[in-house]
Structure 1
Amino acid sequence: MSKNSFLKGTLILTLAAIISRVLGVGQRVPLQHIMGNDGMTLYTISYNIYSMLLIIATLGVPSALSKQISEYTAIGKYLEAYQTYKAARNFALVTGFIMFAFMMIIAPYYAEYALAPQADLAIRAIAPAMLLFPLIAIMRGYFQGLQFMQPTGLSQIMEQILRVATAVALPLILLHWGYNKDVAVAGASFGAVTGSIAACGVMIYFYKKRRAEQKKQLASQKSHTKLTYRQIYSKMIRLSLPITLSALAVPLIYFIDTSTSLRLLTPQEERVSFAVGHKEATIGDKEIVLPVAPYLHNNNTTMVPLEAVSQAMGAKLTWEPDKKRVFYERGPVKETLTLGSDVKVGNKILGPFEYAENTNVPAVPVRFFTEQLHTYKEAMDTLGILGGSAQSLAGLPIILAIALSSSIIPVVSSAHSRRDEREVQRMSSMALRVALITGVPAALYLTVAAYPVNGFLFSNTEATYTKAAWIIAFLCFGTIFQILMMTSSGILQGLGRTDLPMRHVAVGILVKWGGNYALAPLFGIYGIIMATSFCFIVVMALNLRAINRYTRLTILGEKWRGFLLSSLLLCAIGLTIVWAGFKVQPLVSMPAFLFFGIESAVIAVFSLAGYGIALFRLKGIDVQEIRYFPRAAQKAYHLLARYRIVPAYIDPVNQQQKSGLP
């Protein structure tokens, strides 16, 4: 294959990945407005378990398949390539069905364990996507092995468009039809299913389009080797397993958070745990057996028996003689419930008050109780901020940095295969340097501008607004270490040591799990975020130590002072504008979100411009390294160099000064 074709294919995949990731991150902004922070908690719980199980379902086979297809077709072994593809396809169909069934079965149990029984519906709604996504991943690996990148890129974009459209539109429709928030969250989760259908349709279209050429190639091969499934799978798993375990790092971290956070942030006396269809329940520190199992009313509202749960929670019930109305009292909560009418807490309509089917046991919506548990409700909101707002913004600094550094990593692999240690050292250092120089300012911007960015994008009450800004700032700052972790893992893979990132991730996950339990009791949600950062730091440090055994890294060298001072200048400019914003906002008559949007833009322009100019002036970057940056960044440099705002480029060959790049 020509070099130009390879570069074109890499560009297609990079652009598609960036567009898909931006769309995926962007969808959480309208979702948070529609469903609130507690609704985002349920959505995050379902999405995180799905993301983790999807990686396990594919086991990294698409990457291994791509490599094997490429090797076979390069030497004309088309029948062997087709046998390998069919085996991988069958593997995907089986594992996809197993994971789908597994998610459907464990949904109520996992939701109960996570102290969010309302998430049961959302987990079941996203589960059918498992039937198609492993197959889609295999077909993408097949086309990439053929160096045909268009199907992968187009399917990624179409998948995200349908996913986002469904995830935003369906909750609005369901709420308009009178369904409650739990069902609306399930509608948002179902977006993964429509996205998988769109992506699968694209892949099938391209496969059928290429079928005639494939048949021609198969017919042209005179003889072939009959490969057994055992031969194919053993080779695939050997290649793919280390990649899979390395890729599990971030999904597993988020899965740990959604699995443990509510338990860690909620005191024992406010924990409630129910599972639809099961009479066993936990109320505070009491294990009780309910007279009837929790059930779904019209597939909409989770209902639980009133008297048994009220008694376990220490509430007082006073029935009127006709047994049609009851007075409920628990601390400051005093409500009158009438059989056959809707249950309300404050102004919220939660669902019906009715007899459980075929019984004389009065039942109420589970939210009637959870809405009264103030610490639990606060924990639900907090986890929703972490999963719905902070994690979506923290995904942004990763996009550009990883896209830039990933283009350098194949060069590391090529140099290593040629035993060109000097080139390995130069390009490994360059990959980390580019990731650092581009990722850090994005992370620091979101850290210092967390308050206005949160106000512009998300909806929070006065009670949660400041907390949301701090959670966003803490998590976004930690992405600095995530950027270096992911880039260094890629370099180790380029050096052929895919086993090392796998081991380092395993150590990091243990640090994360232990960190949650050690730090959450001391610092609450910030302890959970600190545990995430510690995980990234540990994996990053282990990766860098391993790389240094192969080649001596010089990431910044003497440029570290210029880089550090430029980063501090960015923070100083950003914080100054935020401080000025507090003073100016009361004097300006405009909607708060609009003011915060303008403030966010002003911080971006001045802080990032200050960072870029200082980086050049303080020699935190070599001008010649701009060639590794995106074309837009090169054009911006060309403009600034023309007006001598930044140093001009000097041609290393003839030492002639130029205002731009060659």
Structure 2
Amino acid sequence: MSKNSFLKGTLILTLAAVISRVLGVGQRVPLQHIMGNDGMTLYTISYNIYSMLLIIATLGVPSALSKQISEYTAIGQYHEAYQTYKAARNFALVTGFVMFALMMIIAPYYAKYTLAPQAELAIRAIAPAMLLFPLIAIMRGYFQGLQFMQPTGLSQIMEQILRVITAVALPLVLLHLGYNKDVAVAGASFGAVTGSIAACGVMIYFYKKRRPEQKRELATQKRYKKLTYRQIYSKMLRLSLPITLSALAVPLIYFIDSSTSLRLLTPQEERISFAVGHKEATIGNKEIILPVAPYLHNNNTTMVPLEPVAEAMGGKVTWDKNRKYAFYERGKVKITLTLGENIKLDSKSLGPFQYAENTNIPCVPLRFFTEQLHTYKEAMDTLGILGGSAQSLAGLPIILAIALSSSIIPVVSSAHSRDDEREVQRMSSMALRVALITGVPAALYLTVAAYPVNGFLFSNTEETYSKAAWIIGFLCFGTIFQILMMTSSGILQGLGRTDLPMRHVAIGILVKWGGNYALAPLFGIYGIIAATSLCFIVVMALNLRAISQYTRLIILGEKWRGFLLSSLLLSAIGLSIVWLGLKVQPLIPMPAFLFFGIESAVIAIFSLAGYGIALFWLKGIDVQEIRYFPRVAQKAYHLLARYRIVPEYTAPVNQQSSRRG
């Protein structure tokens, strides 16, 4: 394969990954407006368990398959390549079905465990995507092994387009038809299913298009070896398992948060947990048996028995003589419920008050009780902010840094295979330096501009607005360590030590799990965020320590002062504009979101420009390293250098001599 072909393929995958990630992040903005923070909690719970199980379902086989297909086709062993692909395809079909069945079965139990039984519908709505995505991943690995990147890139983009359209449009339609928020969230989760159908369609189209060429290749190979499934899978899993466990880091962190946060943020007396179809329930610190199992009314509203639940929560129910009305009292809540009519609480329409089918047991919507649990409601909103707003924004700083550094990592692998220690040292340091220089300003921008960015993109009440900004700021700051963690893991893989990132991630996950339980009781949601950053720091430190045993890293060297001062300047400019905006906004007759949008853009322009200019003048970056940046960045630099805004780049003497020659 030529160098140009490799670079073209890398560019296609990088662009597709960037577009897909931006679309994926972008979909959460309208979703948060449609479903609110509590709705985003349910969406986050369903999406996080799906993401984790999807990685387990594929077990890193696509990456291993890509490597094996590339090796077989390079030496003309087309039959062996095709046998390996078929075995991987069958593996994906089986594991996809197993994970789909598992999600459908565990949905009520997992939703109950998270203290969000309303999430059951969303988990089951996203589960069918598991039938196709492992197969899609295998087909992507197959085409990448053939150095044909277009199917992968196009399928990623089409997948996200259909996912976003469905995830935004379907909840709006369901709410318009009168369904409640739980069903609307399930509609949003179903976007993963339509996205998988679109991606699968693209992959099948390209596979059929290439089928004649595949048949010609198979016909040219007269002798071939019949591989057994045992041979194929043992070789494949040896390559794939370390990749799988390394890739699980971030999905596992988010899974831990969505699994434990409601429990950690809700006091025991306000914990309420049901499962549809099961009479066992947990209310506060009491385990009770209900006279009738919770059920779905019109596939829409989760209904639970009124009197036993009210009693367990410390409430009181009094009936009139004809049992047409029930008077409910709990603390400040005093309400009359009329059989056969919808219940309204705090102006919210919750659903009917009715007898369970074929019984005389009165039932009310589950939300009638959860709406009264103020700390629980606050925890639902808080987890929705973390999963719906903060985590989506925290995914942005990683895009550019990983895209830039990933192009350097294959060079590390090549230099290591040639035993070129000097090149390994130079390019490993360069990868980390590029990730740091490009990722840190993006993370710091979102940290200092969290208040206006939150106001521009998301919808929050006065009570949750400031909290949302703080959560976004703290989580985005922690992505600095995530960037270095991911880049250093890539370098270790380039050095052939795929086992080390796997071990380090396992240690980091244990730190995260223990950190949640140790820090959440002390600092609430900020303790959970701190545990995430601590996990990234531990894995990053272990990775860097391992790399240093192979080569001496010089990430910034003497440039650290310039880099640090430039980062501080960015933060100072951003915070100054935020402070000024707080003073000016009440004086300007303008919609708040529009003002915050303008403020966010102003902070981006001045703080990032200040950072970039200071970085050059304070020698936080060597101007000769500009040649490693994308062509667009190089053109922007030369334009600025022409007007002496930044120092001018002069090619090294050996380069000038070669040009003259």
By the TM > 0.5 criterion, same fold?
A: yes
> Does the alignment pair 1:331 with 2:331?
yes
Kindly state the Cα deviation for residue 629 of structure 1 after the two structures are TM-superposed. 1.6
C-alpha contact 1:386 1:472 (8 A) present in aligned 2: yes
> Does the alignment pair 1:130 with 2:130?
yes
Tell me, in whole angstroms, the C-alpha distance in 2 between the residues paired with 1:492 and 1:244: 15
Q: Which residue of 2 aligns with 1:445?
A: 445
Q: Which residue of 2 aligns with 1:204?
A: 204
Q: Which residue of 2 aligns with 1:175?
A: 175
Q: Which residue of 2 aligns with 1:507?
A: 507
Map of 1:53-64 to 2, 5 A cutoff? 53-64=53-64
> Does the alignment pair 1:111 with 2:94?
no
Q: Which residue of 2 aligns with 1:287?
A: 287
> Aligned residue pairs: how many?
657
Paired AA for residue 572 in structure 2 = A
Map of 1:535-614 to 2, 5 A cutoff? 535-614=535-614
**Deviation per CA, 1:39-63, whole angstroms, max 9, x where unpaired?**
0000000000000000000000000
SS state of the match for residue 280, structure 2? Answer: strand
> Does the alignment pair 1:636 with 2:636?
yes
Tell me, in whole angstroms, the C-alpha distance in 1 between the residues paired with 2:399 and 2:655: 35
Kindly state the Cα deviation for residue 632 of structure 1 after the two structures are TM-superposed. 2.1
**Deviation per CA, 1:574-615, whole angstroms, max 9, x where unpaired?**
000000001110110100000000000000000000000000
SS state of the match for residue 148, structure 2? Answer: coil
> Does the alignment pair 1:311 with 2:311?
yes
Map of 1:242-321 to 2, 5 A cutoff? 242-321=242-321
Q: Which residue of 2 aligns with 1:189?
A: 189
Q: Which residue of 2 aligns with 1:361?
A: 361
**Of 477-486 and 619-628, the range deviating more from structure 2:** 619-628
Paired AA for residue 87 in structure 1 = A
Normalization by structure 1: what TM-score?
0.99
Kindly state the Cα deviation for residue 215 of structure 1 after the two structures are TM-superposed. 0.5
Tell me, in whole angstroms, the C-alpha distance in 2 between the residues paired with 1:4 and 1:633: 20
> Does the alignment pair 1:68 with 2:68?
yes
SS state of the match for residue 296, structure 1? Answer: strand
Kindly state the Cα deviation for residue 324 of structure 1 after the two structures are TM-superposed. 1.0
Could you say what the CA RMSD is over the residues aligned between the two structures, in angstroms? 0.8
C-alpha contact 1:650 1:656 (8 A) present in aligned 2: no
Tell me, in whole angstroms, the C-alpha distance in 2 between the residues paired with 1:273 and 1:280: 9
Kindly state the Cα deviation for residue 631 of structure 1 after the two structures are TM-superposed. 2.2
Tell me, in whole angstroms, the C-alpha distance in 2 between the residues paired with 1:185 and 1:99: 21
**Of 135-144 and 336-345, the range deviating more from structure 2:** 336-345
Tell me, in whole angstroms, the C-alpha distance in 2 between the residues paired with 1:343 and 1:268: 27
SS state of the match for residue 27, structure 1? Answer: helix
Tell me, in whole angstroms, the C-alpha distance in 1 between the residues paired with 2:421 and 2:655: 27
Tell me, in whole angstroms, the C-alpha distance in 1 between the residues paired with 2:454 and 2:644: 36
Tell me, in whole angstroms, the C-alpha distance in 1 between the residues paired with 2:336 and 2:561: 67
Tell me, in whole angstroms, the C-alpha distance in 2 between the residues paired with 1:543 and 1:351: 53
Paired AA for residue 606 in structure 2 = F
Q: Which residue of 1 aligns with 2:432?
A: 432
Tell me, in whole angstroms, the C-alpha distance in 1 between the residues paired with 2:465 and 2:117: 26
Tell me, in whole angstroms, the C-alpha distance in 1 between the residues paired with 2:534 and 2:628: 30
Paired AA for residue 105 in structure 1 = I
Q: Which residue of 1 aligns with 2:217?
A: 217
Tell me, in whole angstroms, the C-alpha distance in 2 between the residues paired with 1:212 and 1:621: 51
Tell me, in whole angstroms, the C-alpha distance in 2 between the residues paired with 1:345 and 1:228: 64
SS state of the match for residue 650, structure 1? Answer: coil
Tell me, in whole angstroms, the C-alpha distance in 1 between the residues paired with 2:350 and 2:309: 17
Q: Percent identity?
A: 89
Kindly state the Cα deviation for residue 630 of structure 1 after the two structures are TM-superposed. 2.1
> Does the alignment pair 1:382 with 2:377?
no
Map of 1:88-107 to 2, 5 A cutoff? 88-107=88-107
SS state of the match for residue 649, structure 1? Answer: coil
Tell me, in whole angstroms, the C-alpha distance in 2 between the residues paired with 1:301 and 1:653: 74
**Deviation per CA, 1:219-266, whole angstroms, max 9, x where unpaired?**
111110000000000000000000000000000000000000000000
**Deviation per CA, 1:73-125, whole angstroms, max 9, x where unpaired?**
00000000000000000000000000000000000000000000000000000
Kindly state the Cα deviation for residue 359 of structure 1 after the two structures are TM-superposed. 1.0
Paired AA for residue 181 in structure 1 = K
C-alpha contact 1:640 1:646 (8 A) present in aligned 2: yes
Tell me, in whole angstroms, the C-alpha distance in 1 between the residues paired with 2:654 and 2:417: 32
Tell me, in whole angstroms, the C-alpha distance in 2 between the residues paired with 1:630 and 1:335: 64
Paired AA for residue 312 in structure 1 = A
Q: Which residue of 2 aligns with 1:85?
A: 85
> Does the alignment pair 1:42 with 2:32?
no
Where does the alignment leave 5 or more consecutive residues of structure 2 unmatched? none
Tell me, in whole angstroms, the C-alpha distance in 2 between the residues paired with 1:245 and 1:625: 34
SS state of the match for residue 555, structure 2? Answer: coil
Kindly state the Cα deviation for residue 655 of structure 1 after the two structures are TM-superposed. 8.2
Q: Which residue of 2 aligns with 1:229?
A: 229
Tell me, in whole angstroms, the C-alpha distance in 1 between the residues paired with 2:100 and 2:298: 24
Cα distance change, pair 75–654 in 1 and its aligned pair in 2 (3 A): closer
Paired AA for residue 539 in structure 2 = V
Paired AA for residue 592 in structure 2 = A
Kindly state the Cα deviation for residue 3 of structure 1 after the two structures are TM-superposed. 1.3
Paired AA for residue 166 in structure 1 = T
SS state of the match for residue 337, structure 1? Answer: strand
Q: Which residue of 2 aligns with 1:660?
A: none
Kindly state the Cα deviation for residue 443 of structure 1 after the two structures are TM-superposed. 0.1
Kindly state the Cα deviation for residue 654 of structure 1 after the two structures are TM-superposed. 5.9
Paired AA for residue 176 in structure 1 = H
Kindly state the Cα deviation for residue 636 of structure 1 after the two structures are TM-superposed. 1.4
Tell me, in whole angstroms, the C-alpha distance in 1 between the residues paired with 2:539 and 2:460: 34
SS state of the match for residue 299, structure 1? Answer: coil
Tell me, in whole angstroms, the C-alpha distance in 2 between the residues paired with 1:116 and 1:654: 65
Where does the alignment leave 5 or more consecutive residues of structure 1 unmatched? 658-662
**Deviation per CA, 1:521-577, whole angstroms, max 9, x where unpaired?**
000000000000000000000000000000000000000000000000000000000
SS state of the match for residue 653, structure 2? Answer: coil
Tell me, in whole angstroms, the C-alpha distance in 2 between the residues paired with 1:22 and 1:646: 30
Normalization by structure 2: what TM-score?
0.99
Tell me, in whole angstroms, the C-alpha distance in 1 between the residues paired with 2:655 and 2:98: 63
**Deviation per CA, 1:167-197, whole angstroms, max 9, x where unpaired?**
0000000000000000000000000000000
SS state of the match for residue 590, structure 1? Answer: coil
Q: Which residue of 2 aligns with 1:468?
A: 468
Tell me, in whole angstroms, the C-alpha distance in 1 between the residues paired with 2:261 and 2:127: 23
Q: Which residue of 2 aligns with 1:4?
A: 4
